[in-house]
Amino acid sequence: MLLRRNIRAEALADTNNPVQTSFQFLERSSILFVMLESALTHLECPECGRKFNADRVQNFCEDCRSPLLARYDLTRVAASVTRTQIAARPRGLWRWAELLPVRKEKFRLTLGEGDTPLLPAPRPGKTLKIKHLFIKDESPNPTGSFKARGLCVAVARALELGRREFVIPTAGNAGGALAFYAARGGAEAHVFMPKDAPRTNQEEVRAAGADLRLVDGLISDAARLAAEAAKGKRWFDVSTFKEPYRAEGKKTMGLELAESFGWELPDVVIYPTGGGTGLVGMWKAFAELEALGWIGPKRPRMVAVQADGCAPVVRAFQNGAERIETWQNAHTLAAGLRVPNAFADRLILRALRESGGTALAVSDAEILEAQREMAQAEGLLACPEGAATLAGLRHLVKNGWVRPDETVVLFNTGTGLKYI
Ligand SMILES: *Cc1c(COP(=O)(O)O)cnc(C)c1O
Ligand SMILES: [Zn+2]
């Protein structure tokens, strides 16, 4: 297995032997062949402003202990492509290639991620008296969660920069996504996961042939053990925000949202927040779209929902703090929200505040109730994290924070099937 993988990885890196991507296939077979060029220019630390070379493997700014953000030549993008042209491309997140970091087409791995449905949710909307309620349903993504978007792009870019072996601490879904994108790219993956993470997450990692290490503890303990195990090895660490490109993959949710709403963003976006990759990624996407002239200045109010057994972002938001403090004894059935600390805490809190948004916690009982309602009233088996957004909306409607005439989007971040 190891040998075969390495041979595939070499082939991918050193020859023009292209890895099969459906996008590529579709492009070759279309009459209008266009080379899509990434407009990536550099990476930047949002705290000290230092610039980093984007064509080298980078993790984060050591001085600030801050994530790095990818920067693009947006003037060039605006001059070279229109939003209508992007809309006409084959489905999937690589149709936004100019705004993503992978330069060569042959590294744009795909398992069919992105372009998920934006479903109207009229029945819960009626109960809550919200006229325009939608669910951005991420469950059709490969590996059943939106983690596919982030790991797809992060693995693709790391392969392009010559890395062949990956390590990740995970609450569950990110490990599954890494394992499958590594398999797709002919690379190796080492996955450190709490031993009480959902069984499906454990089994999917094994099924993809990755190295699964079960940890007695939480994702934070998994991170410590992963770092120890990685010492002295060429394992590339794709922990949340400890490399710049998972956020770029998740940014595509924001791009899709803008497009789906006819380039006018909704009023409120409710997002189940763990490490905050999607929240920060979407916030970044909106800024890029405005710089391109593709949307105006209107932004949604961004809402972070967490579980009351692990709500460090909510606590920091309510205290007016700039950083979050590690949550002790984190527990919730929403495994993806069992994240006691967030490396991107400053960016998460800034996005919430700049948007005029808020943060709130819901109980596991409320999550289960909302999950039942989504299933029975809308035919959608949401993951507990996704159901938490509906539970959160109930509070926000009750206390008048969301008004009946507003357009609201809930993020269902994965399929409930993974938790059965
Ligand atoms: C990881 C995860 C989350 C949290 O996502 P972040 O972008 O890291 O905040 C939410 N829901 C599910 C299903 C997840 O797997
Ligand atoms: Zn810095």
- pLDDT tens by residue, 316-340: 999 999 999 999 999 999 999 999 9
Q: What is the mean pLDDT of residues 70-85?
A: 97
Q: Give residue 27's pLDDT.
A: 47
Q: 262 is written with which tokens? A: 């006819």
Q: Give residue 5's pLDDT.
A: 43
Q: What is the mean pLDDT of residues 100-104?
A: 98
Q: Give residue 33's pLDDT.
A: 54
Q: What is the mean pLDDT of residues 137-143?
A: 98
- DSSP, collapsed to helix, strand or coil, labels residue 14 as helix
Higher-confidence position of 394 and 1? 394
| Complete edge-to-edge strand list for the sheet that includes strand 51-52 | 51-52, 40-44, 69-72
Give me the helices (H) in 293-407, please.
Answer: 312-318, 345-354, 364-378, 384-398
Shortest-distance Cα residue to atom 5 of ligand 1 = 274
Residues flanking ion ligand 2, Cβ below 5 Å: 45, 47-48, 61, 63-64
Q: 341 is written with which tokens? A: 């600390």
Give me the helices (H) in 15-171, please.
Answer: 22-29, 74-80, 83-88, 122-128, 147-160
Q: What is the mean pLDDT of residues 21-41?
A: 64
pLDDT at residue 157 greater than cutoff 60: yes
Eight-state DSSP code of residue 19: P
pLDDT at residue 219 greater than cutoff 70: yes
State the pLDDT confidence band at 343, using cuts at 50, 70 and 90.
very high
Computed over every residue of the chain, the mean pLDDT equals 93
Instruction: Tell how far the Cα of 311 is from the centroid of ligand 2, in angstroms.
Output: 26
Instruction: Tell how far the Cα of 401 is from the centroid of ligand 1, in angstroms.
Output: 24
Residue of 147, 205, 343, 420 to mutate, ligand 1, most atoms within 8 A of C-beta: 147
Instruction: Tell how far the Cα of 304 is from the centroid of ligand 1, in angstroms.
Output: 11
State the pLDDT confidence band at 195, using cuts at 50, 70 and 90.
very high
Shortest-distance Cα residue to atom 1 of ligand 1 = 336
The fraction of the chain above a pLDDT of 90, given in percent, is: 91
Instruction: Tell how far the Cα of 278 is from the centroid of ligand 2, in angstroms.
Output: 21
pTM: 0.92
State the pLDDT confidence band at 25, using cuts at 50, 70 and 90.
very low
Eight-state DSSP code of residue 58: -
pLDDT at residue 382 greater than cutoff 70: yes
Instruction: Tell how far the Cα of 64 is from the centroid of ligand 2, in angstroms.
Output: 4
Q: How far apart are the first and last CA of the chain?
A: 30
Q: Give residue 8's pLDDT.
A: 43
Q: Give residue 296's pLDDT.
A: 98
Q: Give residue 400's pLDDT.
A: 98
pLDDT at residue 209 greater than cutoff 50: yes
The fraction of the chain above a pLDDT of 70, given in percent, is: 92
pLDDT at residue 34 greater than cutoff 90: no
Q: Give residue 58's pLDDT.
A: 97
d(CA 187, CA 162): 11
**Digit-coded pLDDT (tens) for 231-282:** 999 999 999 999 999 999 999 999 999 999 999 999 999 999 999 999 999 9
Counting ligands in written order, which one lies closest to the CA of residue 346?
2
Counting ligands in written order, which one lies closest to the CA of residue 137?
1
Q: Give residue 35's pLDDT.
A: 83
Q: Do domains 118-145+245-419 and 147-237 have the same CATH topology?
A: yes
Higher-confidence position of 5 and 137? 137
Q: Topology of 118-145+245-419 in CATH? A: Rossmann fold (3.40.50)
Domain extents for the chain?
118-145+245-419, 147-237
Ligand 1 environment, Cβ below 6 A: 145, 147, 173, 240, 272-278, 336, 383, 385, 413-414
User: Which atom belonging to ligand 1 lies closest to the Cα atom of 278?
Assistant: 7
- DSSP, collapsed to helix, strand or coil, labels residue 321 as coil
CATH 1.10.10.60 fits 147-237, yes or no: no
